[in-house]
């Protein structure tokens, strides 16, 4: 996220999507549902990708000019980042669909 090598941007994006749908309007509202969804997606991403940390996923230090150059010249971005983005998207969408089904009225 932001070239810092910390949390993968795909993970951050998935969490933002969940927050946009299930976030609280007021600080006193319950947060258990959103926490459960975030944990589900985070753990799924970690399990599928092996990490949620950009530096670990890419093997590169994107805080250096050399690391930035290498992510584009080596194909790591296409191999790792593209897969990470699609994984985050798929897991967030599945969690959101599951939550919608669970809250749908019976009948």
Contacts of 42 (CB under 8 A, 6+ apart): 11, 15, 52
For residue 1, being part of any structural domain is answered with no
For residue 83, being part of any structural domain is answered with yes
Q: What is the largest CA-CA distance in the chain?
A: 58
For residue 4, being part of any structural domain is answered with no
- Rounded to two decimals, the pTM is 0.88
For residue 77, being part of any structural domain is answered with yes
For residue 21, being part of any structural domain is answered with yes
Tell me: the pLDDT tens digits for 16-72? Answer: 999 999 888 888 888 898 999 999 999 999 999 999 999 999 999 999 999 999 998
The domain in which residue 57 lies consists of 9-103
For the chain, what is the domain count? 1
For residue 37, being part of any structural domain is answered with yes
11 to 1, 4, 52, 101: CA distances (angstroms): 9, 14, 7, 23
For residue 20, being part of any structural domain is answered with yes
For residue 30, being part of any structural domain is answered with yes
């Amino acid at each position: 996220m932001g070239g810092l090598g910390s949390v993968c941007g795909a993970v951050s994006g998935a969490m933002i999507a969940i927050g946009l749908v299930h976030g609280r309007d007021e600080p006193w509202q319950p947060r258990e549902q959103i926490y459960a969804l975030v944990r589900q997606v985070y753990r799924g991403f970690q399990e599928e990708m092996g990490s949620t940390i950009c530096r670990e996923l890419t093997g590169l230090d994107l805080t250096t000019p050399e690391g930035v150059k290498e992510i584009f010249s080596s194909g790591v971005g296409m191999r790792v980042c593209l897969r990470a983005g699609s994984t985050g998207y798929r897991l967030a969408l599945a969690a959101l669909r599951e939550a919608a089904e669970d809250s749908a009225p019976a009948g």
